[in-house]
Amino acid sequence: MVWEEAPPNFKTFFPEKYKDRLQRLPYRDNMRRTWEIHKRPALIMLHVFADDFEALEKWMEMAYQLAAHEDLRQEMDFYVEDLWLAYIFNTNDYSFLRRDGGCSVDSLPLIYAIAATGEVFFFGNLAGPKLPKLKSLREFCERVIKRKERKPLSIKPKVEDIDLASWNELIYASDEDIALCFYNSLQNGTEVNNSLMINLDRLADKVKQESVSLFKMDIRGVSPPKKFCLDTVPALFVLQKGQKHIPLRCKYELGLWTMLRFVAENSSDELHYYNRRGHQKLHAKLLTHMKDFFDSKNTENYEVF
């Protein structure tokens, strides 16, 4: 089910007793103006759903303790919101798959911090949110306030060329999954190869944070290993790290999203940012929205804590 309709309590889930320390997210334009004027660090805790507030109140209570007047609130703002009403993410064209994303009222909250300089940090790791505890969440906030957060981590996407001479070194010495595309350079300059190369570069960007190595091999004048059964090219295969001898051929036409879906379906372990259907996971999608919102000029990938 796509999460598009508001839960019945989305306007009322925020209890009065918390309003002296915590804020709900204002309309996106007001949020931008407020932050740009004050440039104060902020913590944004998003409840995945507000359907069952009892399952969520413990997280709000934790944020409330951190936001005590004598504690971190002097140096940072605290926002708590139900995901549906998070206008910061442009609800006009934003939706996510509720069941497919593996989210429920028991899911951990999605917690982000914004530094005074606009960098966005996620309280979790590539695979998703981590369990917040008062001590660890306070330390996270203090690092952001004191600008001791980790430096941005830039991961350069790449599609490496491979040939028979480098085959064993690159394929069998790797402890990662392999996505391998065969093509024929005789087709260079044609729409087939032009589109393929563009989509391979885009695929590399999509999976740059994943444990997947992406290679391409020109078969012009050479015969690739027989187990690939190449009747036509281009062709994409996935070699799982524990079964490199059993190549899996992509059954879809080779476009960006179909190749991404095939890799996601057949990776040894579920990808960090995409589920088995190739849909971007909620925490990754929101992290992108947050970065774009607070710093439209920023194109770096920020390392998570």
Instruction: Output the pLDDT for position 149.
Output: 73
Domain limits for position 201? 160-266
Average pLDDT taken over every residue of the chain: 84
Instruction: Output the pLDDT for position 6.
Output: 64
4 lies in a domain?
no
Identify whether residues 134 and 28 lie together within a single domain. Answer: yes
Which CATH number is 261's domain given? Answer: 3.40.30.10
114 lies in a domain?
yes
Tell whether the model's pLDDT for residue 282 goes beyond 90: no
Please name the residue that has the structure tokens 């379906």: 265
Euclidean distance between CA atoms 95 and 107, whole angstroms: 18
How many structural domains is the chain composed of? 2
304 lies in a domain?
no
Identify whether residues 20 and 119 lie together within a single domain. Answer: yes
- Strand pairing of 212-218 and 160-161? parallel
Instruction: Output the pLDDT for position 163.
Output: 95
Identify whether residues 126 and 63 lie together within a single domain. Answer: yes
Dihedral angle of Cα 24, 28, 30, 34, to the nearest 10 degrees = 80
Q: How confident is the model at residue 301 (pLDDT cuts 50, 70, 90)?
A: very low
Identify whether residues 285 and 143 lie together within a single domain. Answer: yes
Highest mean pLDDT among 57-71, 151-165, 187-201, 223-237: 187-201
Identify whether residues 145 and 286 lie together within a single domain. Answer: yes
Tell whether the model's pLDDT for residue 70 goes beyond 60: yes
List the single range of 28-37, 66-75, 201-210, 245-254 with lowest mean pLDDT: 28-37
Q: Which residues contact 45 (CB under 8 A, 6 or more apart)?
A: 59, 60, 63, 78, 79, 80, 81, 109, 110, 111
**Confidence (pTM):** 0.81
If one compares 186 and 30, the residue with the highest pLDDT of the two is 186
Euclidean distance between CA atoms 285 and 274, whole angstroms: 10
What backbone phi and psi angles, to 5 degrees, belong to 33?
A: -65, -45
Identify whether residues 249 and 166 lie together within a single domain. Answer: yes
Identify whether residues 217 and 285 lie together within a single domain. Answer: no
Q: How confident is the model at residue 92 (pLDDT cuts 50, 70, 90)?
A: low
